Amino acid sequence: MADSLAELQEALDALVEERDWAQFHAPKNLAMGVAIEAAEIMEHFQWCTADESYSLPKEKRAEVANEIGDVLLYLLGLGRTLDVDIIAAARDKLALIREKYPIEKAKGRATKYVDLD
């Protein structure tokens, strides 16, 4: 797996700066972007069954990858404007999940793995 989020962040920062887009990227607007692109991922899964969702046709899978890229870019942008390290945030969240769902209690139960609000 490509590993360096830092490099991606730099490339995104450059793109935004070159186009003078920072003025539009208030956290409020970027948060909307994350949600809008997340819905575009979902669109590809609306009518298939859970089983079918594992084996998307090649072209559809490429479109999903494209939307996944969008979500990650908005997430990075949002992290940037709020000064939130998104990997650290996810790591902290994992720790919370481990605590809330100890293995012996959560094993094999259809429970949300990220429902800690």
Among 1, 57, 59, 99, binds its own copies (CB under 8 A): 1
State the minimum distance, in angstroms, from the CB of residue 83 to its own copies: 8
Which residue from 78, 77, 2, 74 is spatially nearest to 41, judged by alpha carbons?
A: 74
State the minimum distance, in angstroms, from the CB of residue 29 to its own copies: 6
What b/e sequence results for 72-100 when a residue is b if at least 16 CB atoms lie within 10 Å of its CB, and e otherwise?
bbbbbbbbbbeeeebeeeeeeeeeeeeee
Site for its own copies in 51-110 (CB under 8 A): 51, 53-54, 56, 61, 63-79, 81-82, 84-94, 96-98, 101, 103, 106-110
State the minimum distance, in angstroms, from the CB of residue 82 to its own copies: 6
Read off the tokens for 65. 């990858």
Q: Binding to its own copies by residue 40, rule CB under 8 A? A: yes
